[in-house]
Amino acid sequence: MPKKIKPIALVYRSNTKNISTLARILKEGGLVAVPTETVYGLAANALNAKACRAIFKAKGRPENDPLIVHIHSLKDLHQIAEKNSAVDLLAHAFWPGPLTLVLPKKNCIPSIVTSNLPSVAVRIPSHPVFRKLLKKTGLPLAAPSANPFGYVSPTTSAHVVESLGSKINHILEGGACEVGVESTILDLRNPKLPVLLRPGGISKNKIEKVLKLKVLSGNKIRHPNLKSGQISPGLLKKHYSPHTPLTLSDHLKVRSAINSSKNEAWLFIKKPNGVIAKNIFFLSRSGNLTEAAHNLFSVLRDLDSGNWKQIHAEKAIGSDIAVAINDRLIRAASKRNH
C-alpha cells in the first residue's frame, strides 16, 4: 500500500485579512494556490526567478514548459510585454477573461518563466478573488494549474488539497471555477498572423470576428510567413490524464454501457434518456456544453478515485467550447507524450 502523505496546506477564506497575508507571502517569494475562472493556479511572483522555479518543483513540471503570467489591468502589460495593434482589440473584447496572449517579452521577466523563449504568455483573469490578490500584491503572478504535471487540472480547492496538499502551504478559497477548462492561448507576436495554440474558454470564431482576420490553428503549423520555430512547448499529446485508462469515441451507445463489465465507467456528454445504471455518468443533464466544460475535470477526478478499470468517454459535438472539451479529452485519452 502506498503511504498516505499528510496535507500541510492551509485553505484560506477570501477575506481582506487573508488576502493581505497571502499577498505578503507572494511578495516574499512564497507560493499560493489561487482560484481563477478557468482552473485553480499555483501562483508566484513572476519577477522572482527563485519563486517561479519552486512552482516547477512543486508540480514536477519540466522547465521547458513555460508559465502564463497574470496581471490585474491592461496598464500593467507594458511592464512585461510588447503591445501591438491587435492586443487592444482583444483586450477590449475578452479581458478580464480566459484568453492568454503570447507576446514579445520585456527583460524583467526571468527566463525560467518563459523557458528561455523571447516571448511571454499573458492573461488578465476575471475571478474576483484572484483579482483582489493581484491588486494587493501589485505584481505580475506566474501561475500554471495547481496540480501535479500531466494530471487532471483542479477546479476546486479540495482538488488542490488532494493532489498538491503535501507540497504547498497556502491555498486561497474561491469556490468552483466557472469555466472549468484552461484559457485559450493565442500567439499574437505577429498581429497580422494570429495562431491559436490551445483552444479554451474563448473560441477561435469569436477571436476572428474581433480581429477581422483568419486565425491559424495548431502548435506545429506551416505557413510561408512564419518560421518553423513557432511552436509552443509544453502542449503535449498526453495531458489532463486520469490514472485510469480512458478511451474516447465520437459517440457512446447506452446499450454498450449496460452490456459492459460492471467495472467500466461510461461518460456521456448529455444524460442518456431514462437510463439508470451505476456505471453511467454524464457532464450535463441537458447536454449544455458550457456546463459540461465546467464539470469535466471534476467528474474525471471523481471517476479516477472510483475503482473503475476503464473509462469510456465521448466527444462533444459542436464548435466553440466543444473544441476545448474535445482537446482535453483527446489528451486525456492519449498514450503518447509527443
DSSP string, 286-321: S--HHHHHHHHHHHHHHHHHTT-SEEEEE---SSTH
Which of Mg ion, ligand AMP, none is residue 66 near (CB under 5 to 8 Å by kind)? ligand AMP
Closest CA relative to residue 269, chosen from 312, 205, 211: 312
Q: Taking CB under 6 A as the criterion, which residues in 195-214 touch ligand AMP?
A: 197
DSSP state of 280: E
User: Which 163-182 residues touch Mg ion, going by CB under 5 A?
Assistant: none
Our CB check for ligand AMP shows the closer of 102 and 303 to be: 102
Rounded least distance, CB 188 to ligand AMP, Å: 10
Pairing type for strands 310-314 and 280-284 reads unpaired
Given 112, 185, 324, 325, the residue binding ligand AMP (CB under 6 A): 185
The minimum distance between CB 159 and ligand AMP, in angstroms, equals 15
A 10 A CB-CB count for 270 gives 18
Question: Among 87, 75, 71, which residue's Cα sits nearest to residue 135?
Answer: 71
CA–CA distance, 33 with 257 (Å, rounded to integer): 38
Instruction: Choose the contact partner of 121 out of Mg ion, ligand AMP, none; CB within 5 to 8 A by kind.
Output: ligand AMP
Positions 107 through 126 that interact with ligand AMP (CB under 6 A): 114, 117, 119-121
Euclidean distance between CA atoms 51 and 27, whole angstroms: 10
Q: Give yes or no for residue 102 binding ligand AMP (CB under 6 A).
A: yes
The answer to whether residue 203 forms part of the interface with Mg ion (CB under 5 A) is no
Q: Which of 235, 254, 275, 330 binds ligand AMP (CB under 6 A)?
A: 235
Residue number, 112 or 185, with CB nearest to ligand AMP? 185
Q: Which three cell numbers stand for residue 311?
A: 473509462
Residue 18 binding partner per list Mg ion, ligand AMP, none, with a CB distance cut-off of 5 to 8 Å that depends on partner kind:
none
Candidates 36, 137, 145, 230; binder of Mg ion (CB under 5 A) is 145
Angle at alpha carbon of residue 243, lines to 238 and 249, rounded to 5°? 60
Q: What is the three-state SS of 12-67?
A: ECCCHHHHHHHHHHHHCCCCEEECCCCCCEEEEECCCHHHHHHHHHHHCCCCCCCC
In the complex, minimum distance from the CB of residue 182 to Mg ion, in angstroms, rounded to a whole number: 6
Quote the least distance from Cβ 234 to ligand AMP, whole Å.
Answer: 3
Binding flag, residue 145, ligand AMP (CB under 6 A): yes
155 binds ligand AMP (CB under 6 A): no
Q: If DSSP codes are grouped into helix, strand and coil, which group holds residue 102?
A: strand
- Ranges within 45-74 binding ligand AMP (CB under 6 A): 65-68
Stretch in the footprint of Mg ion (CB under 5 A) among 20-28, 66-74, 139-147, 260-268: 139-147
Sign of CA dihedral 98, 301, 54, 45: positive
- Chain positions contacting ligand AMP, by CB under 6 A: 65-68, 102, 114, 117, 119-121, 144-145, 182, 185, 197, 232-235
